[in-house]
Chain A
Amino acid sequence: MAAAHFKLDNLVAIVDHNQQQIDGWNADVMNIEPLTEKWRAFGWEVIDINGHDFHQILNAFEKAERVKGRPTVVIAHTVKGKGVSFMENNLEFHGTAPTPEQAKAALEELA
């Protein structure tokens, strides 16, 4: 609200929108949708992207630079633990560090 009020067009917020929180899926714990419309209602330029796609990320930042008179939010739709089979959408890893063995296995999958 304040960022839009002060017309902060050099401000970009990024939402890592993986739809999960510690107690479960956002939709089950406390629904936050429709997120895009909420940011827009607060006066922000909203860009929805696939947060795992670097081309989309760069394009979003370039677009944000051209937006004048209001701040921009990039809603990056992501998957928690993306790319590591045993971590993807697994809430156990929200606040728990992997064991050295898990870390090794995860890095091998990502290599």
Chain B
Amino acid sequence: MGKVMEVSSTREAYGQTLVSLGKENPDVVVLDADLSKSTRTVYFAREFPQRFFECGIAEQNMMGIAAGLAACGKIVFASSFAVFATARCFDQLRMSIAQPRLNVKVVATHGGVTVGEDGFSHQAIEDLALACSLPGFTVVVPADATETAQVIRVAAGTPGPFYIRLSRQSTLRVHSNGYQFVLGKAVSLRQGFDAAIIATGVMVPVALDAAKSLSLHGIECRVLNMPTLKPLDAEAVILAAQETGAIVTAEEHLQQGGLGSRVAQVVVQNQPVPMAFVALHDAYTHSGKPEELLDLHELTPAGIEKAVRSILLKKR
């Protein structure tokens, strides 16, 4: 588990998994909005041109077409960048997909600030809040390529709407080949009883680094990868609160509406403990290199360490 820090690309894994699914199931169809090379749906488009629908720069219409195809019994994957696949077409996600509970898998790449130089117009930092707000939507943020491949397969086999957030940049590999993703379940990556770090997506390897560093100072942190934001694994959260008494969440997203908010809701209702949120704090950011932006917003091992130390002071 995370011993060999290889690099893996979640969007690359998505593109390849779509091709496998396409071979196995003739009902799988894929839609894109003029970004197929970036989202990697282009691999499916090349293999199955009759089942690929290029919708152009018209995400709202793409979601309508996706809903229509799903209503006709297809398993629909609709992709774009996370900013365009949520904020721009939120009404269509709500009225055409969420309300009729259609079988559409919105798979968004380029989530978070690690989009980098494209700047704040292209950095999706509200997408998880938007997706989680939709009743009936399942929301998943895979941490690496291994997990992504499994999440895509599980989504294809699970009826109903999904929002799956992937990244632009390659991430460090956290899971070994034998890893088994279970929808709605947290994954324990490191045991500890001083505090728990619950992370999602690209923040999972960062959380592991922070835990390793804190361990050198005698602070043992539990690290949970929380790929499924909705429905959240409340059981794992409550257990972490009971057994560690302090929780830090880490996500590449605004503090409100994403992982931190969802974990906090479970904590305050079941087992109130001090919490800290490693996330973006109610502000848009800048254009810059992904690493620079992560540093600027303390979405780093040091940032998580600081958060852990701050709540250890509050812990009784």
Contact = CB atoms under 8 A, between A and B. Distances in A.
Interface of A: 1-2, 5-6
B180 interface: no
Interface in B213-233: none
Contacts of A2: 55-56, 58, 61, 65
A9 B201 CA distance: 44
Nearest to B54: A5
A1 B54 CA distance: 12
Interface in B42-98: 53, 55-56, 58, 61, 65
Contacts, number: 10
Contacts of B53: 6
10 contacts: A1-B56, A1-B58, A1-B61, A2-B55, A2-B56, A2-B58, A2-B61, A2-B65, A5-B56, A6-B53
Contacts of B58: 1-2
Contacts of B61: 1-2
A99 B228 CA distance: 49
Contacts of B56: 1-2, 5
Given A2-B61, A6-B53, 6 more contacts: A1-B56, A1-B61, A2-B55, A2-B56, A2-B58, A5-B56
Lowest 7 CB-CB distances: which A-B pairs, in order?
Answer: A2-B61, A2-B55, A2-B58, A2-B65, A1-B58, A2-B56, A1-B56
A61 to B, nearest CB: 21
A1, A2, A5, A6: most-surrounded residue (chain B CB, <10 A): A2
A52 B223 CA distance: 68
Nearest to A2: B61
Contacts of A5: 56
A94 to B, nearest CB: 20
B80 to A, nearest CB: 15
B65 to A, nearest CB: 7
Interface string B264-300: 0000000000000000000000000000000000000
Interface string B108-147: 0000000000000000000000000000000000000000
B49 to A, nearest CB: 13
Nearest to B61: A2
Interface string B1-19: 0000000000000000000
Nearest to A5: B56
A27 to B, nearest CB: 26
Contacts of A6: 53
B68 to A, nearest CB: 11
A56 to B, nearest CB: 28
Nearest to B64: A2
A21 B77 CA distance: 36
Contacts of B65: 2
A5 B61 CA distance: 13
A10 to B, nearest CB: 13
Contacts of A1: 56, 58, 61
B89 to A, nearest CB: 14
A6 B58 CA distance: 14
B69 to A, nearest CB: 12
A2 B53 CA distance: 10
A55 B55 CA distance: 37
Nearest to B65: A2
Contacts of B55: 2
A6 B68 CA distance: 14
B183 to A, nearest CB: 32
B10 to A, nearest CB: 29
A6 B55 CA distance: 10
